[in-house]
Structure 1
Amino acid sequence: MRATTRLAQRLRQPGILVAPGCHDALGARIIEQAGFEAVYMTGNGLSASLIGAPDVGLLTMTEMVARGRSLAAAVSVPVVADADTGYGNLNNVVRTIREYEAAGVAAVHLEDQVTPKKCGAMKGLALVSAEEHADKIRAAVAARTDPDFLIIGRSDARIPNGFPDALRRGQIYAEAGADLVLLEMLQSIEEMREAVASISKPLVFNYVEGKVPDLKVSDFAELGFKLLNYPVSSTLAYARMMRDFAASLARDGTTLASGPPLLSLHDYEQILGLGAYH
């Protein structure tokens, strides 16, 4: 069964689907081996890992698709990917969808920021009109060849424009044909409840530590969300680990100093599936 179909069928089942984020294929394998049913490809983490820069629209569509292809090839679970704004106008959106679909990704979200965009947790976000983004969603839906390849309509309006405009945009994107809707940075349980009740398509939530209410998976499930992403959590954990590792090696002159022990080479090779290679 195709990854797209597995994801579409899973989202039609009761309960919430959790997709931890990662920025590389190793992270995707670790997430799958931990028992998660989907992986989220983070644009923020990719910008950090590929070019060491913040998520301010510097990566190209081809760079993002190439990483999406590597993640999808490394795991058997579906990959949900950040597709930013679609990287331009309607023509660019059409190509973006075709490239991501050909790469083996199972779903993408398109956001309603101007191009170049910024991370949704940053200040100074600028948006296109809801009507322009609805046209992009319609173009994305028409461009896919697999009906189970899911289009997520995302709005970043909550922080710059307030909740009423974010909700209005979510409703418009649902009507335009988005399979799911993501309202970035909802700021209260009340907003979440209203969004789930007022939008005709299933809702996605991006959990960003320190930027949204501190809730557990069970809370998001009870509120009625269908897909829960953790976009930057693993990248933050990686950055913390690398900073501590580098400081420890510089200070102590050894990798065997105090602190969490390194993963053994045996366990590392197990993650990578060394035994399957001749």
Structure 2
Amino acid sequence: MQKKITLRNLLDKEGLIVAPGCHDAFGAKIIEHVGFEVAYMTGNGTSASLIGKPDLGLITASEMVTHARGIVSAVNIPIICDCDNGYGGVNNVIRAVEEYEAAGVSAIHIEDQDMPKKCAALGDIKFIAKEELTEKIKAAVHARKDKNFTIIARTDCRSALGLKEAISRGQACANAGADVVYIELLESIDEMKEVVRSIDAPVMFDMLEHFRMPYINVKELENIGYKLVVFPLSSTLTYAKSILGLMTSLKETGTTEAFLDKMLTLKEYEHLLGYDMIERREIAIRKQC
């Protein structure tokens, strides 16, 4: 419960919340270690990590919740999770909220894609009606047991249906009780400013590298008026390129020597995983016995 309160307090305070993305618990521990106050569990990266497949709606709700539980248990900071489209209709959304909240997640976002859903950046997406989206958001708000569990409403319709419709959906979701509104795939800074001006709720931004949006510093996002920014695939894309380079080099040369300066030492690795703390705790328990 405390992590949910922590996120809620951050949303109520001045300033931008920066939540880097991770696809596993070790990534979340690194995010926490360097001083970020919130982390984001990416659905796209989780699909790649768990089942080695693209973000095409193939990973199940139970797989996502189980994975989230492991990440939550590894860190002391709030975790925001991708809840796709709620995995079905209103009753599926209610079940998803119950399961994510029970897993200790602090926030989820629910989008307006129809089935089968896929990564919004891939294009050619089908959408549910605005009224169905708002019903899902109302159901999610009603289903949560703790009012501090944050419901984020997401629309992916900007590219297909236009900015006006995307903003209209965001406004409707805010009116339906969403705590945060997330409009995906904006195409310019002017559009970002228009979204912030038009939505009567905190607004979230998704910094997706190698896409249409120009790279923008978190301070600029804060100045525009955004409350939350996630970097969903930054760590996953970096991990993939790093491992690809390592394995290619090993295959070609028969050694990992060229990558030694890119590796943590075993001591650094163990420290990040909390080995020292676990060992001290074990010693303390033995002394009490």
Q: Shorter-chain TM-score category?
A: over 0.9
Equivalences for residues 4-83 of structure 1 within 5 A: 4-83=4-83
Kindly state the Cα deviation for residue 162 of structure 1 after the two structures are TM-superposed: 1.3
Describe the SS at the equivalent of 2:120.
coil
One-letter code of the match for 1:240? K
Q: Deviations over 1:215-252 (max 9, x none)?
A: 11111011010000000110000000010010011111
Count of residue pairs the alignment pairs up: 278
Equivalences for residues 1-278 of structure 1 within 5 A: 2-211=2-211, 212-257=213-258, 260-277=261-278, 278=282
**CA RMSD of superposed structures (Å):** 1.0
The structure with the largest alpha-carbon Rg is 2
One-letter code of the match for 2:254? G
CA distance in structure 2 between the aligned counterparts of 1:194 and 1:210, rounded to whole angstroms: 23
Q: Which runs of 4+ in 1 moved over 4 A?
A: none
| Structure holding more helix per residue | 2
One-letter code of the match for 1:215? I
Q: Deviations over 1:141-166 (max 9, x none)?
A: 00000000000000001111111111
One-letter code of the match for 1:32? E
Q: Deviations over 1:248-267 (max 9, x none)?
A: 11111111125743210000
State the percentage of identical aligned residues.
Answer: 48
Kindly state the Cα deviation for residue 175 of structure 1 after the two structures are TM-superposed: 0.7
Q: Deviations over 1:51-102 (max 9, x none)?
A: 1110000000000001111111000000000000000111100000000000
Kindly state the Cα deviation for residue 268 of structure 1 after the two structures are TM-superposed: 0.2
Describe the SS at the equivalent of 2:80.
strand
Describe the SS at the equivalent of 2:88.
coil
Rate the CA distance shift 1:274–1:259 in 2: closer, same or farther, 3 A: closer
Kindly state the Cα deviation for residue 115 of structure 1 after the two structures are TM-superposed: 2.0
Describe the SS at the equivalent of 2:87.
coil
CA distance in structure 2 between the aligned counterparts of 1:72 and 1:101, rounded to whole angstroms: 11
Identify which range, 111-120 or 74-83, moves more after superposition. 111-120
One-letter code of the match for 2:217? K
CA distance in structure 1 between the aligned counterparts of 2:250 and 2:230, rounded to whole angstroms: 33
Q: Which runs of 5+ in 1 are unaligned?
A: none
